[in-house]
Amino acid sequence: MAREKDKAVQAVDISSLLKMKKKGQKITMLTAYDTPTARMLDDAGIDVLLVGDSAANVVLGYKDTLPVTMDEMIHHTKAVSRGVKRAMVLGDMPFMSYNISHEDAVRNAGRFIKEGGAQAVKLEGGAHVVDTVERLFRAGIPVVGHLGLTPQTAGMQGGYRVQGKTAATAARIVEDALKLQEAGAFMLILECVPDRVGEHVSKALEIPVVGIGAGPGCDGQVLVFHDMVGIGTGFSPKFVRRYANLGQEIVEAASRYKQDVQQGSFPAKEHCFTIKDSEFELLVKKR
């Protein structure tokens, strides 16, 4: 795998992430679905690249995350692994890849590691997935939990909405988080909860808590790369900060290219290959 090529680079692993939490150094995570993006984010020093099931709606054109398959996720995970020297690659288990049986969950999670080159897998859910997390842990597969808003079961949560807004629902998140930690999860992603709940959960756990829409008190932050650089649907969740407007730049670049081609200013002399006059004359005479 790409990570082994450069022995001089200290790859991010579970113990380095735990150390970061202990030292109060914030963990950075972004989604990536392809090799060039993985390379750029790795060069930027991002600690964890999440091959999110958000690939479904962000780059594959599905309307939500549910239809993406194991084979599609492995394809994208392989591409990301090939671009990385330092970052941890985290494969996101798609809907129904860990919900049917423990055997199925272990087999599918194992594919992310063996075929995809990921170092860990992520799955969504609280108390009801604790047994699965334990089985994966016993199989030697590092697991990251995902609580708060869980997009694969957003329908059961009343849609894409903030979770843990009451003492009772927030307490349930804390309980679930502790159970996941106990079952062997080495990190937790916490999505769309009030900032004080994000901080409270992070303080309650020994493992790092990486937030998305969970406030600055978490041990790290994750965003969907395309949201962060302004490529995509136009809808931007409240928790996103846009660091670039690449979508608009790409549209402008493609429009200029179209105009140049139509007006004949591209390709110019410097983009052309040449043939000797003598050869060209021979060619013309032949006709």
Given the rule CB under 6 A, which residues bind ligand KIV? 31, 50, 52-54, 92, 189, 191, 212, 222, 224
Pairing of strands 220-223, 209-212: parallel
Instruction: State in angstroms the smallest separation of the CB of 191 from ligand KIV.
Output: 6
Residue 260 and residue 258: Cα distance in Å, rounded? 6
Instruction: State in angstroms the smallest separation of the CB of 53 from ligand KIV.
Output: 5
Residue 163 and residue 280: Cα distance in Å, rounded? 72
Residue 112 and residue 108: Cα distance in Å, rounded? 7
Cβ distance to ligand KIV smaller for residue 42 or 191 = 191
Instruction: State in angstroms the smallest separation of the CB of 94 from ligand KIV.
Output: 9
Residue among 223, 263, 261 nearest 242 (CA) = 223
Q: Is 182 a catalytic residue?
A: no
Burial of 258 (0-12, 13-18, 19+ CB in 10 A): exposed
Cβ distance to ligand KIV smaller for residue 194 or 285 = 194
Q: Which residues contact 79 (CB under 8 A, 6 or more apart)?
A: 33, 34, 35, 38
Instruction: State in angstroms the smallest separation of the CB of 238 from ligand KIV.
Output: 14
Q: Which of 72, 124, 191, 199 is catalytic?
A: 191
**Which residue of this chain has its Cβ atom nearest to ligand KIV in the complex?**
52
Instruction: State in angstroms the smallest separation of the CB of 205 from ligand KIV.
Output: 17
Is 174 within 8 Å of 204 (Cβ atoms)?
Answer: yes
Cβ distance to ligand KIV smaller for residue 225 or 279 = 225
Cβ distance to ligand KIV smaller for residue 181 or 221 = 221
Cβ distance to ligand KIV smaller for residue 52 or 117 = 52
Peptide bond between residue 267 and the one before it cis (omega within 30 degrees of 0): yes
Residues identified as active-site: 191
